[in-house]
Amino acid sequence: MNIIAKTEAFVKNQLAHDTTGHDWYHINRVRNLAIFIGEKEASENIKVIELAALLHDIADEKLNESKQSGERKLIQYLEQLSIGKEEKEQILSIISTVGFKGGNGVSPESLEAKIVQDADRLDAIGAIGIARTFAYGGHKGSPIFDPELKSRTNMTVEEYRNEKSSSIHHFYEKLLKLQNLLHTETAKRIASKRHQYMEMYLEEFYKEWNGDYEKYFD
């Protein structure tokens, strides 16, 4: 079994029962997006991009007992792969910069890290992003919307993870910010329509929430 197939099998096994929006299909979309962006941006390291994209959620503290246990799992897996030390370090470095973390994430420096981060963020917006937002909100026990809550700003990672919010507030706390946080021109072009779709969705959501029935007869 080659390295990519082995890694696919490992990730599928790890995320087989995920219901938070971080399942194998999310991983595969991010992998495909990262490869597409990498080729468009003329990266010379598609192999590292693909492996980092496949493994980017393995150490995620949201999906593990702790940040440390997730990191151990990722490192132990990488140690099994017959790739060079430099490539392993690149993969770990890329993965360390992927997360948004309430706006507290690490800014990527290499082109490859920017590409994988862009790919992951693209999967958090648009129609898929909307679906994933409600899946994750349901998993956490967050309401669809609570008009008594305010959108949070300048959060710590702990506040972002644990303070009360709603799925609709998550659009303002993360999703609608992502278009302006992308790095590559390829990702920005993809993001434009996905961002617009989210704005249209929110407009329709508020019409239905507020009972603006007359607007259907304009």
Structure tokens at 170: 């998550």
CA distances from 167 to 67, 76, 123, 160, 192 (A): 24, 35, 16, 13, 21
* pLDDT tens sequence across 161-195: 677 899 999 999 999 999 999 999 999 999 999 99
Where are the domains positioned within the chain?
A: 3-217
Task: Categorize the per-residue pLDDT at 9 as very low, low, confident or very high, splitting at 50, 70 and 90.
Answer: very high
pTM of structure? 0.92
The C-alpha torsion from 194 through 199 and 203 to 204, rounded to 10°, is: 10
CATH of domain 3-217: 1.10.3210.50
* pLDDT tens sequence across 129-157: 999 999 999 999 999 999 999 888 777 77
